[in-house]
Structure 1
Amino acid sequence: MNDTITKFGYPATLIHDYDHWMVLLRPAQVTLGSLIVAAKSDAQDFGALSADHFSELKVVTGDVSAALASLVSYQKLNWLMLMMVDPHVHFHLIPRYEGTREWEGQAFEDKSWPGPPVLSDAIKLSDNQISGMATWLKSGFPD
């Protein structure tokens, strides 16, 4: 695993594993269902990924969109590829919605809707919440 995948809590945050990508729970939830979609590669430039990465990304995006539509009822998905602090190719995937969503009795408000997401406005999850939310999100992905 590259350092970026490890930094985002792998293996505890693993939602779904593909041949060339991993979907991870984002331990700091900007909105409910915030994820990291990380390339299983040492590449630090999007264009340096293999053709197989790009081909499989089509499957990953479809799976992620379907899972989050079912579980979170988002209105938009923001795919942010920042790679400033964590250099390996990855996206911060932020489900966007007007108002609040609830999970396990906790409210997750999209405070900056309809503007750009404010990543520093995230709710940091405890280890127990990470485990529970990861299990919940896995239920939306194909086996």
Structure 2
Amino acid sequence: MNETIRKFGYPATMVADYAHWVVLLRPTQPTLGSLILAAKSDATAFPDLKPKAFAELAKVTAHLEGVLKKAVAPAKINYLMLMMVDPHVHFHVIPRYEGGRGFGGIEVTDAGWPKMPALGEVRELNPEETEKLIGWLRGWWPSGGR
């Protein structure tokens, strides 16, 4: 795994694993169910990914969106490819909704709705909350994320 994936807490934050991609729970949650979708390669530019990674991206995003729609019922899903600090190809996947969403005592309000995500206004997860949300999301994932 590349350094960007490790920075976002891999393997402890892994929700789903694919041949060319990994889906991680975002350690800070601007909205409930916020994820990192990261390419496993060392590519630092989107067009540098291999064709097989692009092909698999369709499957991964279909799974990801299906899970988020069941889990948090977002009005929209934002994919942010920022790569300013963390250089390897990855997206911040932010489910968007008016108001708040919760699971297991973890409540998160979308402070930016209906405009840009408020990435500075986040719920920082402790290790127990991280584990709880990963288990919850994996429960919705095809094949449990594996």
- 1:127 maps to 2:127: yes
TM-score by length of structure 2 reads: 0.96
Q: What letter matches 1:98 in structure 2? A: E
Match of 1:71?
A: 71
CA–CA distance in structure 2, aligned partners of residues 110 and 12 of structure 1: 25
Per-residue CA deviation, residues 19-52 of structure 1 (Å, 9 max, x unaligned), is: 0000000010010000000000000000000000
Give the aligned residue type for 1:78. Answer: N
Give the corresponding residue for 1:25. Answer: 25
> What percentage of aligned pairs have identical amino acids?
52
User: Which ranges in structure 1 are unaligned for 5 or more consecutive residues?
Assistant: none
TM-score, structure 1 normalization: 0.98
One-letter amino acid of the structure 2 residue matched with residue 48 of structure 1: D
| 1:103 CA displacement | 1.4
Q: How does 1:90-101 map to 2 (within 5 A)?
A: 90-101=90-101
What secondary structure is seen at the aligned counterpart in 1 of 2:140? coil
Aligned to 1:134, the other structure's residue is in SS state: helix
Task: State the aligned residue count.
Answer: 143
AA aligned opposite 2:88: H
Report the CA distance between 1:106 and its aligned residue.
2.9
Cα distance, 1:9 vs. partner?
Answer: 0.4
The answer for the alignment partner of 1:54 in structure 2 is 54
CA distance in 2: counterparts of 1:9 and 1:44, whole angstroms: 19
The residue that corresponds to 1:137 in the other structure is: 137
CA contact (8 A) 2:106 2:129 kept: no
**Gaps in structure 2 of 5+ consecutive residues:** none
Structure 1 ranges of 4+ moved more than 2 A:
none
Match of residue 5 from structure 1? 5
- Aligned residue type for 2:138: K
